[in-house]
Structure 1
C-alpha cells in the first residue's frame, strides 16, 4: 500500500458506548467493522492491502470469552510487528453503577451473565479486559458523558486535518415533482420572476449564464439572498455544536429548472468557502425527459 493504514481498535466494557463510537468513526470516514472474528482478520488484511483504497479502519471488538481474548492479543501482537499498519486502541469504560443503570434501562442481558447476576458479568468482563485496557492509547470514561459529548471527544482525538466532519448538501428541486424527503431546510423561491416565460430562456437552466444573471439581477433576489444566506451562516455553528454531521438545504421552484437551480448554485459556492458542500440539481432535466418521452 502506498499509504500507511490507520487502524483504531475500539473495545471496552459492554454498555460503555461502543455503538456510539463506531457511528462516530463512520462519520470521520473510517471503514468500520463490528465484531469480526479474529480468525478472519488475516484474510481481511490481505483484501485491504490488495485494494489499496482503504486507509482508515475502525474495528469494534467485544471480548466475550477467554479464548476470544487470547486471539485478540495475538492479533495485536502481530500488528505491532507490521510496518504498514499504525494501530491505536480506544478503550471505553464506565462505572459499575452506570453500567448497571444502562442495562436496566435497555433491559438487555450482559453477554457474560446471560443467566446470572448482572454484576457478576460486569466483574468478569472487567477482569478479562484489564490487560488490554493497560495497552490502550486512549481510555475514555463515559460515566458522565452524553452520546453527543462522547462523539465530540472522539472527533477531537481522531479527526484528521484533511477530513471534514460537517457536510452540507444543497439541492435544487421542483415542487411539481415533490419535496426531497431528506431535506432539513426547505426554501421556496417561486416568488421570484420565472425565466421559463422568457422564450429564449425556456430551454435553458439556471446553470446557464443568461438565466443565472436574469434571476440574480431581479431586485427581490439580492435582498432575499442576503437575508437567507445570512440566516444560514448564523445557524450553521449551532447545528455543528449539536453534533449534526450532515445538513440538507433544499431550494425549490415550480419545475426545478431555472430559479431554484440558480439560487442553489450561488448558495453552494457561498457556503463552500467555509464548509464541505455538494450541490445537486435533482430535477434540472426532468422537463427535457418528459418532452423526449412524449
Structure 2
C-alpha cells in the first residue's frame, strides 16, 4: 500500500529581479506561510524534509529563489519533480515589462544583479529574461506586476494564496486602566470613564467585568447601548478600509480608571461584535485585570 501524500504545500517563488519578490514574500509570511528568502535551490529539498518531520508545524512553506542561474530551469524542474512525490508544489514566476523594471531600478538607485556582466541596466534585464524564459513558460503561476503598486500586488497575492478561512484583519482588543498608563502601541482607543463606575457599588466592587452582574450594570447605563451601536458602526468602514489597504493587524484599547470593571465589560462586548464583521478575526486580553 502506498503512503498517503502529505498535506504540505510548497511554493517556489522566483522571477525577474525587481518584479516584486520581496513584496510577495512579505505577503505570504503575513498569511502564515513559513518563508525563506534567497534560499539556494539545493537547500529546498532539505527544507521540505525538515518541514515534513515537524509534525504539521510547517504545513505551508515558500522558498524565494533567485532566477539568474544559468541552469535554473533544469534544476528547478528536477527539484519540483522530487518534491511532488510528497507535497503539493507550485512554481510562481514574477515578471514585469522591461520599461517598468528599468524605472523601478532607477527609483531605488540600485544596480541590476546582471548589469555589470551585461554592460548596462537594460542589457542586464534582457540577459536575465533570456536565461529565465523556459522557467517562466513552465511555471504554475505567472504574475505580471507591471501594473501593480505594492498594495495591488499584495492584494493579488492574498487572493491567490489565502486559505478560505484566513481573516483579512487580525484585531486585538485590550482593556486597560488609565491609572496604570495608557498603552502606546495601539491604533485606536476609547475611554469608558463616561459611564458610572461599578467600583462605588458595594456589591460590585470585588467583582470584575468578567462577571455577569458587572456586565449587566455597565451595559444598562445611560449612553452605553448608544456607544456600542455607534462605535461599532463607525469602526466597521475603518476596519474594512484597513483590509483594502492590506493592513493585517490592528489594536484597539478600551480604558477605564482601573481596568477592572467598565473597560473589561465593554471590551468583551465590542470583541464579540467586531468578530461578526466580514474578514475580521478578534483576540481579547485584559492588561490590568488582577492588579491592585
Query: Which position in structure 2 is the counterpart of 1:291?
Result: none
Q: Partners of 2:214 and 2:39 in 1: how far apart?
A: 54
Q: Partners of 1:111 and 1:257 in 2: how far apart?
A: 58
Match of 1:283 among 278, 281, 288: 288
Q: Which runs of 5+ in 1 are unaligned?
A: 288-294
Within a 5 Å distance, the mapping from 1:90-105 to structure 2 comes to: 90-105=92-107
Q: Deviations over 1:214-260 (max 9, x none)?
A: 11111121122211112122332222222221221111112211111
Match of 2:182 among 175, 179, 184: 179
**CA apart distance, 1:171:** 1.1
Q: Partners of 2:291 and 2:93 in 1: how far apart?
A: 51
- Residue 8 to residue 223, structure 1, CA distance change in 2 (3 Å): same
Query: Which position in structure 1 is the counterpart of 2:151?
Result: 148
**CA apart distance, 1:122:** 0.9
Q: Which runs of 5+ in 2 are unaligned?
A: none
Deviates more, 1:214-223 or 1:170-179: 170-179
1:60 aligns with 2:64: yes
**CA apart distance, 1:64:** 3.3
Match of 1:164 among 164, 167, 171: 167
Q: Partners of 2:52 and 2:234 in 1: how far apart?
A: 46
Within a 5 Å distance, the mapping from 1:22-171 to structure 2 comes to: 22-52=25-55, 53-66=57-70, 70-80=74-84, 82=85, 84-114=86-116, 116-171=119-174
Q: Partners of 1:72 and 1:165 in 2: how far apart?
A: 32
Deviates more, 1:177-186 or 1:208-217: 177-186
Query: Which position in structure 2 is the counterpart of 1:292?
Result: none
Contact 1:27 1:165 in 2 (8 A): no
Contact 2:14 2:93 in 1 (8 A): yes
1:217 aligns with 2:220: yes
**Would you say how many aligned residue pairs link Structure 1 and Structure 2?**
285
Q: Partners of 1:153 and 1:26 in 2: how far apart?
A: 15
Query: Which position in structure 2 is the counterpart of 1:290?
Result: none
Deviates more, 1:227-236 or 1:261-270: 227-236
Q: Which runs of 4+ in 1 moved over 6 A?
A: none
**CA apart distance, 1:273:** 2.0
Q: Deviations over 1:88-139 (max 9, x none)?
A: 1111111111111111111112112247411222111111111111111221
Q: Partners of 1:11 and 1:282 in 2: how far apart?
A: 43
Contact 1:169 1:247 in 2 (8 A): yes
Q: Partners of 2:213 and 2:131 in 1: how far apart?
A: 69
